[in-house]
Structure 1
Amino acid sequence: MKEVKKERKFIIVTIFLVILGAITGIITPMIIQYYNEKNMDVSYEIMLIVFISMLVSFLVQIIMMIFRENFASKFNVNYLFKLINKLMNVEYNTFLEKESSYLINRILVAVDTLYLFIISSFPNMIKAIFTIVTALVIVFIVSKPIFWVLLFLLPINFFGYKYINKKLSKKMETMQAHTASANKDLIVTLSNIDNVKSQSSAEAIQNLLKPQIEYMYNTLANTNKYAQVSSTSISFINQVVQNLTYLWTSIMIINQTKPVGSLIILSILIPMYYSSLNDISKLNIDLKSLTTSHNFIQKELDEHSELDGNIEIDEINSIELKQPSFKLKEKNYNYDLSGYLKKGDVVYLEGESGSGKTSLLRLLLKFRNSTGIKINGHDINSIRNRDIRKNISYISQDPLILSTTLENNITMGKELNNIQKK
């Protein structure tokens, strides 16, 4: 939600277009009420005015759709890479523990959730609030008793959804977590082509993945059942009151306590009022999804950001090792190793499998906090992470092959100058 608040231009334009569209949508009862108050005869001119207002409403909706989608397209790209940046700054051990496929899945869900909020939930929320307020004002002028009935529904809906949100928030968090976990297992398993093709039948894969997949869809079903049943319960109350309001209005017309024009006005406004209340019930689920995604970003990305130094370096001229060590899960790991390396040295690191060669190289990249390592005479922990990593080319034991140039595959997107390319 904070990301959207920063886009003031989008918010202002959206509010303007939504309100303009809502005004043209309720222009008919406003015109009829005006004619009633002035005791003017209704003419065919009203039909022309209504048609023009509907045409304007249609054009506004088209403009708003194009504007929202254009904005959302650029916003999604920027927001996705902002979250990827947060992911890159997550502590190395947390990254391993959570697993990249799980975190990436949750990030994509967060982006999609915010996208749906931008193009649908936010405009619908503005429209619903404006329609409810406007409808109440006009109904108050037409019939004060019906106004109080409609007004009474607002606290029922507000406090009802507030109560629902408490449980729904926990269910949404559980659902997103299990969905991401199941998708992670599915992707990891099926991405190993040799393992998949070596199976005699799909039964083994099914036995392996079915419990997680079933649990994922059961969690999704339980969350949806709670959300839909609870929301439908409030919608039922709204529908009961809506039908009673219609009957009440009809009785007033029959008893000639209200003019026919009032029935026309109420027959247009009341459905719009209840439709807006139902829209708010749908928004309730969308907002909970958005909140859940925000909590994931805060708890699993922001709160696990790696420590960074403040010393800037342009290049690495020397590396000094004095019994390097690091801590992992309350256990200390020490290297009986000392040495001084200067720029231009060619070094060969030898050791048995599992002796910690790769872990030592990861310490040089500040993947973990360590002691006993200096770069350019500075403790490695005091140097900025990005300055160290931009001066070290690291090829993982599990290299990626991307659908791009050979240079990009080797450099992983780093821009090289002519000297570095040579």
Structure 2
Amino acid sequence: MAQLSAVNKYFWKYKYRFSLGILFIVASNYFFVMAPQVANYVVGKLQQALPGVHQANVRKPIIKDALLSAFIDWVDKFAYGKLVLICSVVIILLAIIRGLFMYFMRQTVIVMSRHIEYDQKNEVYNHYQKLDAGFYKTHATGDMMNRMAEDVSRVRMYTGPAIMYLINLSTLIIFALVNMLAQDVQLTLIVISPLPILAVTIYFVNMNIHRRSERVQAMLSDLTTNAQESYSGIRVIKSYVQEKAMLGFFKKNSEEYRKNAVGLAKVEAIYFPSMTLIIGLSTLVTILIGSQVVLHDTSKVGLIVEFVMYINMLTFPVSAIGWVASMIQRASASQKRLNEFLDAEPEVKDKSVTSPANFDGDIEFKNVTFTYPNTGITAIKDFSLQIKKGEKVLILGKTGSGKSTLAQMLLRAYNTDSGKILINGVDIADMPFRELRDNISYVPQDVFLFSDTIASNISFGLKEKAAQDRIEGAARFASIHNEIETLENGYDTLVGERGVTLSGGQKQRVSIARALIKKPQLLIFDDCLSAVDTKTENEIITHLNQYLSNKTAIIITHRIFTVFNFSQIIVLEDGKILEHGSHEQLLGSGGYYAKLYKKQVLDNYN
């Protein structure tokens, strides 16, 4: 229950619905336990009608409930035939009233659990979005999906059915025991004697169920991750003819999950019948002892009938203890997995107070050093750079030189190990994420499009719905408008998962249009033209040169764009600045940039 205490806040949120549900549970059981007392009374009255039975030898039931006592005083004056008929009708009415309250019970408690499930899924999803990029590098997507779907569903079984049946069986047991003890203490203690055995059984078996539940849920996460990666990488799997190998890998994980799930089911399969057996023993003990009591005291026939009815009443609630305990153990294991993520704090934290930063200003990297926490690789080493307002900066370098890391640092995907990044003199660590990122458009190296229309993908970063001419304008600047127009549904064309229906170059240009439509103060292009041909590349660069005339831009690439008149060119190597200067200065130095430029010009000439 320690793990499940995390959901107590939801019970408090829905306290009125929850309280009403408890009231309905208590009411349904209140009317339920009246029936055995009525039956006891009827049997006693019928005994009086038997030949040779003296009224003094008939034991009148002890009834402490004022309502039921008043009813018996009223019906006691009727003849036996009419009395039995009235009592029979009353027992049926009690069952109907109980059924009505049970309906209301489910409408409150179970519906409450659905609201809690909704809230908890939103809580988990919202927390996922707050976690930084480092978290997503160390956790599998399939595992996160399974925790939000399967684990939350298991917790719902605790907040709904488990809680409902737990309160139900508790109140029913209390009502039944109070009435039984009021009638005969000694017989009650004998009848319930098997119940301590049940309690010990529940304790040890539940410990086993809890351990197995945790293992099963972890394996289900692995299985979900395996399937998710296979679906996402299906083109790679098919191109390398690895369907059989991937199926074998999935079957292996699936078999492990099956074995553990079957093991858990076997434990539960033994659990429930064993409790039914113990309840059956209580019924047999009641009949056995009761028959002995009746042989010595015939006035207690009605009492034995009442006790047998109580034991039958308790059969489902007590046997349900195992089912409820199993649900609670499963929910506890699932909530523990959820708490692991919900307790995870992002390394990069947002600022709640808006800073007075003006993005229409200078950018400065001041002695910045950064090491990736999950790999230990130092990507940026004592990096310093000043970018004036409106400048166009080219960052060149080989793979792994730290180019993309600079873009991530500017977006605050990671915190610096040392040093600062300033915009108009304000440390970006003191800026709220929304204020920082609303003023930056970033086109990543790994393009991602959503399973939506092209228009929706282009306007994704806007707070308001974009007009069609604005969407088309951004698409023209990205040199993708004409190709979109040739599609059957134009801008309303669905692109499929991750933009699978578009080519690599088309996806990159839609991503560029998404960045341009925001009209930001700063644009970062991270090797975003690698999938387009030279003609389209020159067309896009020409449009970008026009669009970026009065904006600050950082272009990260492994190629040199001669169309741009870059204010600064930086060549990175191992996270440090290898060369820094203008185009003419770097050509004159005869270093890496000059050699790359000559090679590129020669390749274009050939």
TM-score of the aligned structures, taking structure 1 as reference length: 0.86
**1:15–1:126: 8 Å Cα contact kept in structure 2?**
yes
Letter in 2 for 1:75: I
Shifted more, 102-111 versus 388-397: the winner is 388-397
Partner of 1:313: 355
Corresponding residue of 1:415? 463
Deviations 1:31-84 (A, max 9, x none): 335664369464311222222222222223333333445444443322211111
| TM-superposed deviation, 1:309 | 5.0
Aligned residues: 421
Distance 1:246 1:395 in 2: 79
Task: Give per-residue Cα distances to partners, 1:161-219, cap 9 Å, x unaligned.
Answer: 33333343332222111111111101211333324555769533321211111111112
What does 1:323-362 correspond to in 2, within 5 Å?
A: 323-327=367-371, 328-329=373-374, 330-335=376-381, 337-341=383-387, 345-362=391-408
Once residues 358 and 326 of structure 2 are traced to their aligned partners in structure 1, the CA distance between those partners, rounded to angstroms, is 52
- Displacement of 1:414 after TM fit? 5.8
Cα deviation code 1:78-114 (max 9, x no counterpart): 2211111122233432322121221121121232112
Match of 1:374 among 403, 408, 421: 421
- For 2:35 and 2:461, locate their aligned partners in 1 and report how far apart those are by CA, in whole Å: 58
Cα deviation, 1:109-138, whole Å, max 9, x if unaligned, reads 232112222331111111010011111111
The residue number in structure 2 matching 1:170 is: 211
Partner of 1:79: 120
DSSP 3-state at the match of 1:334: strand
Q: Does residue 16 of the first structure (1) align with residue 45 of the second (2)?
A: no
| 8 Å Cα contact 1:393-1:411 kept in structure 2 | no
Matches within 5 A, 1:397-412: 397-403=446-452, 406-407=455-456, 409-410=457-458, 412=460
Q: Distance in 1 between matches of 2:461 and 2:164?
A: 38
Looking at CA atoms only, which structure, 1 or 2, has the larger radius of gyration? Answer: 2
Say which is worse superposed, 329-338 or 179-188, in terms of deviation. Answer: 329-338
Distance 1:182 1:122, change over 3 A: same
Is 1:300 matched with 2:341? yes
Cα separation, partners in 2 of 1:271 and 1:305, compared to 1, 3 Å: farther
The offset of 1:15, in angstroms, is 0.3
Q: Per the alignment, do residues 331 and 203 of structure 1 end up closer, same or farther by CA in structure 2, a change over 3 Å counting?
A: closer
Which residue of the other structure, out of 155, 158, 176, is the alignment partner of 1:114? 155
Q: Residue 166 of structure 2: which of 108, 116, 125 is its match?
A: 125
Structure 2-normalised TM-score? 0.62
Equivalent residue for 2:185? 144
Shift of 1:21: 1.9
Gaps of 5+ in 2: 1-6, 43-59, 62-71, 471-516, 520-606
Mapped to 2, the partners of 1:174 and 1:343 lie a distance apart of 56
Hey, what does 1:261 align to over in structure 2? 302
- Cα separation, 2, equivalents of 1:304 and 1:388: 21
- Larger relative CO (CA 8 A, sep 6+): 1 or 2? 1
CA distance in structure 2 between the partners assigned to 1:53 and 1:413 by the alignment: 61
The partner residue of 1:5 within 8, 11, 14 is 11
* Aligned partner of residue 293 in structure 1, secondary structure: helix
Greater share of helix: 1
CA RMSD of aligned residues (A): 3.2
The equivalent residue for 1:388 is 436
* Sequence identity (%): 19
CA-CA distance at 1:320 after TM superposition:
1.8
SS in 1 for 2:420: strand
2-side partners of 1:31 and 1:176: how far apart? 49
Residue type of the partner of 1:402?
Answer: S
Structure 1 Cα separation of the partners of residues 192 and 454 of structure 2: 63
1:317-358 Cα offsets, whole Å, 9 max, x none, are 153213432222444332564323466555554433333333
Gaps of 5+ in 1: none
Indicate if the aligned counterparts of 2:421 and 2:428 stay in contact, CA closer than 8 A.
Answer: yes
Aligned residue for 2:399, secondary structure, equals coil
Moved more, 375-384 or 123-132: 375-384
CA distance in 2, matches of 1:114, 1:49: 40
One-letter amino acid matched to 1:48:
V
Residues in 1 aligned to 2:169 and 2:218: alpha-carbon distance in whole angstroms: 31
Q: Relative to structure 1, is the Cα distance of residues 95 and 200 closer, same or farther in structure 2, using a 3 angstrom cutoff?
A: closer
